[in-house]
Structure 1
Amino acid sequence: MTCKNCKAALRTDYVFCPACGAKVAPNRLTYRGLFADILERFFDWDNSFHRTVRTMTVHPEKVIGDYIDGVRRRYLNPMSYLGIALGLSGILLFAMKYSIHEIDFDFLGMGTSSAASTKILDATMEYNSFIFLLYIPLLAIAGILSFNKRDYNLPEHVVSATYSLAHFSILTFPISMLILFLVPEDYLKYSLIYIVFMIGYSLFVLIRLHRYGLGITLIRSMLYTVLVIIGYFGLSLLINLIMLLTGVVTLEDFLPKP
């Protein structure tokens, strides 16, 4: 038997080619084999996904620390994990299109028009993946300025932020779908709570990674929270300004309802 990828000679009991590392496929393609291959290629569904979700929930420092230290086979890599999060986010946005008219945009009771909010939400849906990715450098920069006992550089903090953001998105996906289908009018209220818990989880990850004393941890936690909040509102303001300058929304859209 020969490898179909590099033509090297193989023993019949080989599962992977020792020359090129490709998986041996001795049988014809079946529906079951096709489904298994898709899961393996795109989601690395060989228990590493389940292991990554479980470990990131309680011991995120093991997943992130192992990856940065060079252990790359035990857990799902950050790009694959992020890809799953983006895929679930796309499903959520698809569902939002059917509930957008039921969402209460004036949930703060300020009497403002929902025209601008609806337009901004439509644009956010269109560029969701790009906006989602912008939060990674935001968390990474806030992290390197507040928590860095391990002396990580910026790319290593980007890995930490990617794992944090992707995991929180995956973990909260079922809750987001339930709220969207059961109480869509309260979805924006939930979004505010979502942001608070997202900051809280990313802070939990940094605390587990960079072990400081209690007093120093509290001070650094406050610094990190302030930096993320400033960055979040700055990023939101920038997105709204770009939409205003490009004509996606107008100043009239922000006027209160008559």
Structure 2
Amino acid sequence: MKCNNCGAAVQQNYCAVCGQKASTSRLHINELFHDGWHAITHTDKGLLRLLKDLVIHPRSFYANYFNGQRKKYFSPILFFILTAGAVALLYGYVFAYQDKLFNTNNEFGKVVFHETKFKALLILPVQILLSWIAFRKYFNLAEVAVFWLFTLGLSYCLRIVAIPLYFPLIAYKDEIDLTLFYLSYLLILWQGLVLFGKNFWSIVGFFIILNISIILDSVVSLYILFGEDIFDNPMGVKTWWDLIKMSY
């Protein structure tokens, strides 16, 4: 028997070259649904397994992943892109529901959140570079990048899970937004301290990097809305100090 994927000879249930199942044939709809469900729930390589290990065993998860146990987990790049895209998509329904009930027409918020995935891609290289400079004694550039991809994806999952809360509590949308901001901040801080917190100065270093990320997020948001002159805006942000206050 030959593998339908790579053409190599197959003697067992799976191809020894590419790993595809030997019994694949014409695609059917039940197989498509099975693959989707398998990707989310499978104990060896599912989204739920990734989230469980990131939340319950983050230290051993990163150690195992960096030491080569990668087959059983989602790709960090895919995890980051899917979660960032889902937040940007689903949060649009929150704005639509708010507009329907209260006629708020929050165009500022809509634009910023629709650009979430692009903001993340702009800020991510800075986060990775600063973290690598600070912790290159312990981790290489690729390992630092994997940390940020998984950790930011985890923070986006928190926001995705919270989306249904907005609809019965839409009158308190600002309060929910603020709560999720603080929870996301604490989640990323915790993950960073688990991995990078070797001593007092490494803890301080990651804390500074995280807060630089928050300020940079505000800079990018203003740039998206008002162009190069970010201090020429109707929001009262005229100086860097104003921008820092707005960030928090």
TM-score by length of 1: 0.73
Cα-to-partner distance string for 1:187-238 (whole Å, 9 max, x where unaligned): 233222222222222221222223535xx1xx54344334322332233124
How large is the RMSD of aligned CA atoms in angstroms? 3.3
CA distance in 2: counterparts of 1:134 and 1:192, whole angstroms: 23
The answer to whether the 8 Å contact 1:3/1:9 transfers is: yes
Tell me the equivalent position of 1:68: 66
Contact kept in structure 1, 2:10 and 2:22, CA below 8 Å: no
Which amino acid in structure 2 is aligned with residue 7 of structure 1? G
Q: Percent identity?
A: 18
1:173-184, aligned counterparts within 5 Å? 173-175=160-162, 177-184=163-170
AA at the equivalent of 1:168: S
Question: What TM-score, normalized to structure 2?
Answer: 0.75
- Contact 1:199 1:225 survives alignment (8 Å): no
| Matched length | 232
Counterparts of 1:151-190 in structure 2, within 5 Å, are: 151-175=138-162, 177-190=163-176
CA distance in 2, matches of 1:254, 1:172: 26
Letter in 1 for 2:117: S
Contact 1:93 1:125 in 2 (8 A): yes
Letter in 2 for 1:85: T
Deviation at 1:53, TM superposition (A): 0.9
Q: How does 1:35-184 map to 2 (within 5 A)?
A: 35-39=33-37, 43=39, 45-47=41-43, 48=45, 49-101=47-99, 118-141=106-129, 143-144=131-132, 148=135, 151-175=138-162, 177-184=163-170
Aligned to 1:24: 22
Higher relative contact order (CA 8 A, sep 6+): 1
- Which residue of structure 2 aligns with residue 107 of structure 1? none
Once the two structures are TM-superposed, the CA of residue 138 in structure 1 deviates from its matched residue by 4.5
Over 3 Å counting, the alpha-carbon distance change for 1:171 and 1:121 in structure 2 is closer
The answer as to 2:203 corresponding to 1:221 is yes
Task: Assess if the C-alpha contact under 8 Å between 1:143 and 1:224 holds in 2.
Answer: yes
**Matched letter for residue 243 of structure 1:** L
Q: Partners in 2 of 1:100 and 1:242 — Cα distance?
A: 23
Where do 5+ consecutive residues of structure 2 fail to align? 237-248
The alpha-carbon deviation at position 166 of structure 1 amounts to 0.5
Is the contact between residue 142 and residue 228 of structure 1 (CA under 8 Å) also seen in structure 2? no
**Are the equivalent residues in 1 in contact too, given 2:80–2:150 (CA < 8 A)?**
yes
Distance in 2 (alpha carbons) for counterparts of 1:246 and 1:150: 37
When Rg is computed on C-alpha atoms for both structures, the one with the higher figure is 1
| Equivalent pair of 2:3/2:10 in contact (CA under 8 Å) | yes
Quick one: structure 1 residues 24 and 124, their matched pair in 2 at CA, closer, same or farther if it must change by over 3 Å?
Answer: farther
Task: Supply the distance in 2 between the matched residues of 1:234 and 1:20 (Cα, whole angstroms).
Answer: 42
| Distance in 1 between residues matched to 2:165 and 2:41, nearest whole Å | 28
Cα pair 1:103 1:186 within 8 Å, conserved: no
Where does residue 230 of structure 1 map in the other structure? 212
> What is the match of residue 2 of structure 1?
2
Decide whether the 8 Å contact of 2:131 with 2:144 is kept in 1. yes
Which amino acid in the other structure matches residue 46 of structure 1?
Answer: H
How far is the alpha carbon of 1:45 from its aligned partner? 4.8
Give 1:207's aligned residue.
193
